[in-house]
Amino acid sequence: MLVLDTITRRFGERLALDDVSLSVPDGRMVGFVGANGAGKTTTMRIALGVLAADSGSVTFRGKTPDLATRRRFGYMPEERGLYPKGRLLEQLVFLARLHGVDRGVATRRGQDLLDRLGLGDRSRDKLESLSLGNQQRVQVAASLVHDPELLVLDEPFSGLDPLAVDAMADLLREKTAAGVGVLFSSHQLDLVDRLCDDLVILHAGRVVASGEPEKLRRQRAGSRYELVAEGDLGWLDAVAGVRIVDHRRHGVVLELSGAPDLDQTVLAEAVRRGPVRSFAPLLPSLSELFQEVSR
């Protein structure tokens, strides 16, 4: 597990990170979201040891990572790192060799990654001859080629088409299944929702929510319910403490305020009036959750 504990970092007068704590357990995919400038890249750089924190600590499996440990991390930096004029496979092999991987193994892994990402037949091409999305695929391959024990990826999905997103997601899932912890940042909340086991939301340099997305949603479920039932549901408006806030094709969204068991009263009355197909608290979407905690 990678643990960041109460990390603070200033740039001049600007407090970029304020007491940031988060962890990336082995085998879990952690989505890292936050508005532009929230501090995601700064956090990732500190996690990787390419930038120092003013205070706080970083540990991996209980110890401060030394150079040898950091070589076993995989990092895809925001500024990317490959040479435009370098050939794909050559660059991957070079990077793996820097991490101490034997040439034969590096070549096999590099080719395998390119195959998996749909670039197998372009391994001798120069990076700059690829479209931006395909260049991005190679950048991800570069972070994986030394078979790291931890992956830190700064917006690995940006600019990828849906097929590439799926290929990448499968690859990352394989890594977590093999025990690798993955921390990835993204602005694509639907994708984060689909992929991550845990979520960390950063706002203005502070962690404002973290945990399993489903649990976070339940904590903020509030008092909205969706009722799917047959017949005219207009009677609900006359019930004290009930307000219809949205009409949907097969039902309504209700806002309940008042007695704690009002939901049970509404359900009982709905059942009395006709068949009820479903009645459940309406959980906020990740996007709604994000907006609520980022105010």
Give residues in contact with ligand ATP (CB under 6 A).
Answer: 11, 14, 16, 34, 36-42
Q: How far is the CB of 210 from ligand ATP (least distance, A)?
A: 15
Closest to ligand ATP by CB, 79 vs 232, is: 79
In this structure, the dihedral spanned by the alpha carbons of residues 260, 264, 266 and 271, taken in order and rounded to 10 degrees, is: 180
Q: How far is the CB of 125 from ligand ATP (least distance, A)?
A: 29
Q: How far is the CB of 37 from ligand ATP (least distance, A)?
A: 4
Closest to ligand ATP by CB, 78 vs 125, is: 78
Q: How far is the CB of 11 from ligand ATP (least distance, A)?
A: 3
Residue written as tokens 């799926």? 166
Q: How far is the CB of 172 from ligand ATP (least distance, A)?
A: 20
Give the bridge partners for 150, in sequence order: 73, 181
Closest to ligand ATP by CB, 202 vs 229, is: 202
Closest to ligand ATP by CB, 149 vs 154, is: 154
Q: How far is the CB of 14 from ligand ATP (least distance, A)?
A: 6
Q: How far is the CB of 233 from ligand ATP (least distance, A)?
A: 43
Closest to ligand ATP by CB, 43 vs 134, is: 43
Closest to ligand ATP by CB, 42 vs 107, is: 42
Give the bridge partners for 11, in sequence order: 14
Closest to ligand ATP by CB, 36 vs 272, is: 36
8 A C-beta contact, residue 205 and residue 39:
yes
